[in-house]
Amino acid sequence: MAERKNPASKVTTANSNTRLTTGPSPRRGVSRADAGMPRPANSNTRVGAGLAVRAPRRDPEPGGAMLRGEATSEAALAGLRGRMAALLAQQGIQDDEVLRVMAEVPRHRFIDEALASRAYENAALPIGAGQTISQPWIVARMLAVAREGGALHRVLEVGTGCGYQAALLARLAGQVVSVERIRSLHEQAVDRLRTLGVRNAKLVLGDGNAGWPAGGPYDAILVAAAGLHIPPALLGQLAVGGRLLAPEGGSQQRLVLIERSSRERFRRTELEFVRFVPLQTGVQL
């Protein structure tokens, strides 16, 4: 993907118009060398096959078959979202608040209309610019781990994409800041969140590696792209007691949980294998 050097970042607030239970407790101390680990599913490319949680199954899909045979009325789509949330619960997502918002936020509004028939499948789907909307399971998994059953106040998302996860976070947190480096995706997400009436999310066009210090410190940071290492700027913006979730690695990636216990101390836990798009620098206009 073509890169341009960082111009000044652009901020758009949701007000002026503005980017998927406690789930099972993450296993501690899992090493990279664990043998016999399941292969990652295909995702945004955010996709996971769980360690502590059973990996999402391909069949049955909660939405695709019904949408191909039924009119896609709002009532029918709401029913498909409910079925998707129920399937996520069967697959190990136990946080009731996460399941609630997954059943409420219309995922079909964040993808091309031609793909609406697949909106509630447990699948990553293209959103343009070489990016995808992540699988519902991995979005729900990251939200549940970030919450750990408690309320979220300030949240930073790195990688707005189509805006779906930001819309979910806006229902779980007091304030959300989401940074996207690709202008076209940023502008589409602004329009979608405006249409949905989201007012507690600030969307930023900028380099996610730098985070957004003005909105921090954050009690949760979710990163939607994989770097070889977690950017130090993001660690610095994590509040004491906060949790950061990010994929890490190159051809082999793991979802990593970082918990900040004091100003200088961080605890690292490796979770399931995942496959995300690479974390890029700069802003693409």
Q: What is the pLDDT of residues 236-264, one digit of tens each?
A: 999 999 999 999 999 999 999 999 999 99
Q: Where are the domains of the chain?
A: 10-274
* CATH (residue range 10-274): 3.40.50.150
Name the nearest CA neighbour of 284 among 205, 213, 221. 205
Any idea which residue has 């399931």 for tokens?
A: 272
Read off the pTM.
Answer: 0.78
CB 124 within 8 A of CB 42: yes
Tokens coding 197: 């009436």
105 pLDDT higher than 90: yes
Confidence category of residue 24, pLDDT binned at 50, 70, 90: very low
Q: How many CB atoms lie within 10 A of CB 278?
A: 13
Residue for token digits 């909660």?
A: 62
Q: 169 and 193 in contact (C-beta within 8 Å)?
A: no
Q: Is 262 a catalytic residue?
A: no
Which entry of 117, 134, 251, 262 is annotated as an active-site residue? Answer: 134
What torsion do the CA atoms of 189, 195, 200, 201 make, to the nearest 10 degrees?
A: 0
Amino acid identity, residue 76?
A
